């Protein structure tokens, strides 16, 4: 006598997973039916500098302590995919600003969202090899104890403490306690230095993984501007402590130094060599370096011996457009990101 075997049926999906699937389907179907849907550029891989366009909802952020709606420097971003990767320190670009994630909601949450804050300034500093580094940052509004300190013997010292937030990546991870930064305008800089215990690079995303922190908080104290060592044109503290001959990059300056152009936009770039804070005479030859970016995505033109222009014909985020600037004072390359329209 033979027996016929029947396959064991799969267990039914749990009520929880069914509801989650239904919610995701509804979210995809109804996501764009709103007035707060926008396309923004999101840093696709953390700290990569490569951005992709993504459709999100942008709403007002609310102070969790007071339940009061925050201003335009704070926004809440809602994602269509409930499993969308998010986390503190991640960057976005929209409304002509870089934004950094200060808080996220993903773990054991039905929806994926992020609270972002507008970067209102830039950290600029010199690396140990004599090259120049920069990173968008958030300077908190309030300066605590903004008054002069009058000790018994020493000269009057300025007071004032503030917090700065920036992405913790391979470059900013090298910022040390005592490091100085300039903020403000070329004719009136304000200097702040990182306090001895002010380098908060230890807020881990994973408890035991000391490399998992993604947001750097710097506690800073006001300092005097040093006319001898600070570059008061570029706004870089301790610039002249590094040899200008250490790297051809460090004394060839491209202005503006933010190489991001929105789609259909254009930008003229000025290039000059510097000896300390002195502008050097001399011309440059500008060429597109490599061929990673399709030529129909941009229009490149040399205007004169010290300026060139780029038109962003169409977004391209796989690779930056690299311009080689070669002149009698040396050479450097400059990367330009062809962003989306927002």
Q: How sure is the predictor about 248, in pLDDT bands with cuts at 50, 70 and 90?
A: very low
313 vs 274: CA distance, rounded Å: 32
Dihedral of the alpha carbons of 54, 59, 60, 62, in degrees to the nearest 10: -100
pLDDT of 246 > 70? The answer is no
Mean pLDDT of the chain: 85
CATH number for the domain formed by residue range(s) 18-117:
2.40.10
Q: What is the pLDDT of residue 300?
A: 94
Arithmetic mean of pLDDT, 272-289: 82
Q: Residue ranges per domain, the chain?
A: 18-117, 121-241, 252-338
223 vs 182: CA distance, rounded Å: 9
pLDDT of 3 > 60? The answer is no
Cα–Cα distances (Å) from 45 to 49, 86, 168, 195, in that order, read 8, 10, 14, 31
Q: Give the closest residue to 337 by CA, choosing from 124, 48, 56.
A: 48
In terms of average pLDDT, the best of 28-32, 118-122, 145-149, 227-231 is: 118-122
Arithmetic mean of pLDDT, 80-99: 92
Q: Give the closest residue to 305 by CA, choosing from 336, 277, 273, 334.
A: 273
Q: How sure is the predictor about 121, in pLDDT bands with cuts at 50, 70 and 90?
A: very high
Place of tokens 């020493």: 154
Q: What is the pLDDT of residue 6?
A: 59
296 vs 315: CA distance, rounded Å: 10
Q: What is the pLDDT of residue 217?
A: 97
Q: What is the pLDDT of residue 303?
A: 92
Q: Give the closest residue to 327 by CA, choosing from 289, 288, 287, 300.
A: 287
3-state secondary structure of 23: helix
79 vs 85: CA distance, rounded Å: 9
Q: How sure is the predictor about 156, in pLDDT bands with cuts at 50, 70 and 90?
A: low
Domain 252-338 indexed as CATH 3.40.1010: no
Q: Is the peptide bond before 256 cis (omega within 30 degrees of 0)?
A: yes
């Amino acid at each position: 006598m033979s027996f016929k075997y029947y396959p064991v049926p799969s267990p039914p999906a749990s009520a929880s997973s069914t509801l989650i699937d239904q919610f995701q389907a509804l979210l995809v179907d109804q996501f764009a039916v709103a007035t707060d849907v926008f396309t923004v550029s999101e840093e696709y891989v953390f700290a990569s500098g490569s951005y992709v366009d993504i459709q999100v909802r942008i709403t007002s952020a609310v102070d969790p302590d007071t339940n009061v709606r925050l201003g335009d420097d704070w926004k809440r971003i809602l994602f269509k995919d409930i499993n969308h990767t998010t986390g503190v320190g991640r960057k976005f670009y929209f409304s002509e600003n870089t934004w950094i994630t200060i808080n996220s909601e993903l773990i054991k949450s039905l929806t994926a969202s992020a609270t972002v804050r507008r970067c209102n300034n830039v950290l600029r500093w010199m690396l140990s090899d004599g090259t120049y580094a920069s990173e968008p940052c958030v300077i908190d509004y309030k300066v605590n104890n903004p008054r002069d300190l009058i000790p018994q013997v020493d000269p009057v010292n300025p007071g004032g403490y503030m917090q700065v937030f920036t992405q913790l990546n391979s470059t900013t991870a090298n910022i040390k306690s005592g490091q100085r930064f300039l903020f403000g305008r070329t004719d009136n800089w304000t200097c702040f230095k990182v306090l001895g215990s002010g380098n908060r690079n230890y807020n881990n995303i994973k408890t035991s993984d000391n490399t998992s922190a993604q947001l750097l908080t710097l506690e800073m104290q006001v300092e005097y501007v040093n006319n001898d060592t600070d570059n008061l044109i570029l706004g870089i503290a301790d610039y002249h402590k590094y040899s200008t001959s250490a790297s051809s990059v460090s004394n060839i300056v491209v202005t503006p130094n933010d190489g991001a152009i929105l789609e259909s936009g254009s930008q003229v770039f000025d290039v000059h060599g510097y000896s300390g804070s002195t502008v050097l005479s001399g011309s440059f030859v500008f060429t597109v370096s490599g061929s990673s970016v399709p030529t129909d995505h941009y229009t490149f033109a040399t205007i004169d011996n010290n300026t060139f222009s780029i038109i962003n014909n169409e977004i391209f985020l796989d690779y930056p457009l690299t311009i080689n600037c070669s002149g009698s004072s040396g050479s450097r390359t400059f990367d330009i990101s062809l962003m989306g329209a927002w």
